Structure 1
Amino acid sequence: MNALSKISISDLTVEERLELIGALWDSLEDGDVPVPASHLAELERRMETFEQDKVHSISWDVIRAELERDF
């Protein structure tokens, strides 16, 4: 680390360090962070399940109406 030394980082408050983490994360572009193939495969699996399960889903309006009726 050249611009920020470990000593100067440790002098920051927890809130300031969290803000720094956020700023660093936000400075990254989509392609800067590699995504493991296993994560991509899991995302694909979940999206397929999501698409299949949408047919059997119940809208929030229906659920809310049922809850309000029961209470």
Structure 2
Amino acid sequence: MAVTMEEFGIDRLTVDQRLELLGLIWDSVTAGGVPTPIPDWHRRELDRRIAAADADPGAARPWAEVRVRLLGGP
């Protein structure tokens, strides 16, 4: 039987607390040197994005420019 968010009390956490918990869980999954399996569809998407970037390198924007656009500051 699956455990629900309510049973764990996750529904009572703030968004920041949930994100922190997510990070802790991810760190626990990737700890110990055991390779994390990557789904085939992730690999295909990465290959597609790499091919798109290689086909049009001028489409990329420097991080500083993207940061200003997203966050409104340097």
TM-score w.r.t. the length of structure 1 is 0.47
Q: Which has the larger radius of gyration?
A: 1
- Higher normalized contact order (CA 8 Å, seq sep 6+, divided by chain length): 1
